[in-house]
Structure 1
Amino acid sequence: MTIDRRKFLLAAPALLAACSGRRVLSYDGPQITSIMAFKQQRKLYLLSGNKAIKTYPFQLGFAPVGHKQFEGDGKTPEGAYIIDRRNPNSAYHLSVGISYPNANDRAFAEAYGKSPGGEIFIHGTPSVVEGKKDWTAGCIAVMNHEVEEIYSMVGDYTPVFVKA
């Protein structure tokens, strides 16, 4: 029996999350080839090629305008990143990691003698903050049932583009 790489990559997150007791959906649709997040519109798009497969509203860092530059600034990064990790045991239901900081982000912060920060995720929303407009420390927050879909649909190394 041969297991093709795509099927393994799509199934692995579900297997990991199943061990955590968190709900992870299965996904058998078109491959998600990129994620686009538009901060001003508060819209996240999962794309297969040029076609939007799913769209989600989201919440941002507590200082939503501008690109994240330093740890603790409350901003959400803008730029090109990838999904580089997933956390089935997230304090925010489920989460997929965004590869911030990249080399440019690190160099900019270093030039000012500061840390660029890190630990930026697309994650769920704890019930204590539902309904607040922007509350994260720089992450992109969606509702829990939405992050379950995202977690199942998006593979590691998927490109993520965050625009103002």
Structure 2
Amino acid sequence: MRLLTYLSILFFIMNTNCNTSEKNTQTEDRVQIAEDTKAILVQENLDLHQLNSNNLNILLVAYKDLDKLSVFAKSTEDRTYKRIKEYKICARSGQLGPKKAEGDRQVPEGFYHINRFNPKSKFYLSLGINYPNAYDLSKNYTGSDIFIHGKCETVGCLPMTDELIKEIYLYALWAKESGQEKVPVYIFPFEMTDENMKKYKSQVDESTFSFWQNIQEGYQLFHKKHQELETKVENQKYIFIS
């Protein structure tokens, strides 16, 4: 009985993160495979938008209800981003609303950045998101290992399929190699128009809607200026510095 209990707990822990490195020795170089199979396609898209892989910054925006991930990009010396690509998020877990606890299967909402590259993920390639961030910590939210990754399964991450993560990984890698230390990742429950705010208000509690009103400020500011947001956290709220 004790063994069964231990195994059950172990299974739960293993399935509350959507990404860990593979336990077996990986012999294939997945980044090289991505370069070999997707570099021309990604470079052609950059060329179309008059951008250079050696002089690149990117910014990612995800909408949970639309299952959509948008790639915005600019040259390193510019301030203004433009959307250059949209991808379909392959699967979703949880409901609309922020992630609050380890194992709740929720996808975070808010303003994050990529804090690690994992070329040996059990989900092919993956890009780690810095959840919990300062806001989440101020709310005592728990959890870890939130990724944008390959395959088409999730317990709180953004799965893109192996083929699409190759492209997204290259955009992020080239931005990193161009000197971008933190690739912003903004995750919204939906396109945060006033109309959609009214539409979804009845589906959540007061605290979640108040949080949505807070991040709507960032949504509106980004879509007005198309620039990376400068944020800080005060009194358990995002503050947006214009």
The interval holding the TM-score normalised by the smaller chain is 0.7 to 0.9
Q: Return the alpha-carbon distance in structure 2 between the equivalents of residues 59 and 90 of structure 1.
A: 17
1:83 is paired with a residue whose SS is: strand
- 1:68 pairs with one of 79, 99, 112: 99
Equivalent position amino acid for 2:34 in 1: V
Q: Return the alpha-carbon distance in structure 1 between the equivalents of residues 164 and 95 of structure 2.
A: 21
Post-superposition Cα deviations, 1:91-130, rounded to whole Å, max 9, x if no partner, equal 0010011111102212212xxxxx61011000001xxxx4
Q: Within 5 Å, give how 1:43-82 maps onto structure 2.
A: 43-48=68-73, 49-82=80-113
Q: Which residue of 2 aligns with 1:37?
A: 62
Q: Within 5 Å, give how 1:134-153 maps onto structure 2.
A: 135-153=153-171
Q: Return the alpha-carbon distance in structure 2 between the equivalents of residues 107 and 38 of structure 1.
A: 24
Unaligned stretches of 5+ in structure 2?
A: 1-26, 74-79, 190-242
Q: Which residue of 2 aligns with 1:87?
A: 118
Q: Which moved more, 1:154-163 or 1:67-76?
A: 154-163
Whether contact under 8 Å (2:129, 2:147) holds in the other structure is yes
1:136 is paired with a residue whose SS is: coil
Q: Return the alpha-carbon distance in structure 2 between the equivalents of residues 108 and 137 of structure 1.
A: 21
Q: Relative CO higher for 1 or 2, CA cutoff 8 Å, sep ≥ 6?
A: 1
Unaligned stretches of 5+ in structure 1?
A: 1-18, 110-114
- 1:96 pairs with one of 127, 150, 172: 127
CA RMSD of aligned residues (A): 1.9
**Identity percentage of aligned residues:** 35
Change (3 A) 1:20 1:101: farther
Misfit runs of 4+, over 4 Å: none
The normalised TM-score by structure 1 is 0.74
Q: Which residue of 2 aligns with 1:158?
A: 183
Whether contact under 8 Å (2:90, 2:161) holds in the other structure is no
Q: Which moved more, 1:89-98 or 1:43-52?
A: 43-52
Which of these two proteins has the greater Rg computed from alpha carbons? 2
* Larger helix share, 1 or 2: 2
Whether contact under 8 Å (1:32, 1:46) holds in the other structure is no
Q: Displacement, 1:61?
A: 4.5
Q: Return the alpha-carbon distance in structure 1 between the equivalents of residues 164 and 57 of structure 2.
A: 15
The normalised TM-score by structure 2 is 0.51
- 2:142 pairs with one of 96, 116, 128: 116
